[in-house]
């Protein structure tokens, strides 16, 4: 039996210790916010926080995580109030949403250690693949989240900067 903490709750998985964390989260814990993208560690859709570090759940076995603390998108914020989530929503970054949980988790771990990331810092920390092409808005939104985290800006209001649509 493998034991560690997921979203501040102790868990004991009665699964083969070689089971990828992704499948333990999705199948045994019903935490489906962590997405399966490629299964090879290339896309970042399955990014979670393991002891403060962004890790790919498809590449981590549960046996290797004994005694660790894992945070998934569900554990980051129950009401989407985390600064990264708020900034992405306000900037209309999410498109299809498939990559967004992994992006949010990678960005949240970045901002925990670097509260003033440069554009290059963000690109290096968030190699996630997004087929919708959110990258320019994503970088701006993460820099906004950093300002919120530092206390240099108020929390954004979703759609506040969205252009208005003229009435027909």
For residue 142, give both structure tokens: 């993460």
For the four alpha carbons of 27, 29, 30 and 32, in that order, the dihedral sign comes to negative
For residue 141, give both structure tokens: 């939104």
Mean predicted lDDT score pLDDT of the chain: 92
Banded pLDDT at 61 (limits 50, 70, 90): very high
Could you list the residue range(s) of the whole structural domain that residue 116 is in?
A: 83-150
pLDDT at 167: 42
Where among 16, 43, 74 does a domain terminate? 74
Q: How far is 144 from 119, CA to CA, in rounded Å?
A: 12
Banded pLDDT at 71 (limits 50, 70, 90): very high
Identify the CATH number of the domain in which residue 58 sits: 3.10.20.30
Per-residue pLDDT at 165 exceeds 50: no
**Is residue 161 assigned to a domain?**
no
Same domain, 98 and 143: yes
Same domain, 27 and 50: yes
Same domain, 115 and 142: yes
Same domain, 10 and 67: yes
pLDDT at 25: 98
**Is residue 67 assigned to a domain?**
yes
**Is residue 18 assigned to a domain?**
yes
> In this predicted model, what pLDDT tens digit does every residue of 87-134 receive, in sequence order?
999 999 999 989 999 999 999 999 999 999 999 999 999 999 999 989
Question: How many independent structural domains does the chain possess?
Answer: 2
Q: How far is 2 from 11, CA to CA, in rounded Å?
A: 8
């Amino acid at each position: 039996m493998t034991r560690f903490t997921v979203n501040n709750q102790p868990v004991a998985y009665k699964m083969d210790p070689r089971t990828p964390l992704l499948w333990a989260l999705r199948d045994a814990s019903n935490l489906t916010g962590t997405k399966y993208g490629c299964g090879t560690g290339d896309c970042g859709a399955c990014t979670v926080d393991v002891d403060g570090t962004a890790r790919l759940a498809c590449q981590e076995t549960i046996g290797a995580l004994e005694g660790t603390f894992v945070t998934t998108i569900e554990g980051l914020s129950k009401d989407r109030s985390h600064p990264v989530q708020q900034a992405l929503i306000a900037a209309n970054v999410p498109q299809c949403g498939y990559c967004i949980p992994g992006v949010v988790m990678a960005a949240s771990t970045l901002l925990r250690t670097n509260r003033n990331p440069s554009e290059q810092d963000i690109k290096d920390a968030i190699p996630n693949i997004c087929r919708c092409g959110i990258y320019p808005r994503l970088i701006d939104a993460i820099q906004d989240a950093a300002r919120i985290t530092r206390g240099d800006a108020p929390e954004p209001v979703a759609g506040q900067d969205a252009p208005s649509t003229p009435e027909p």
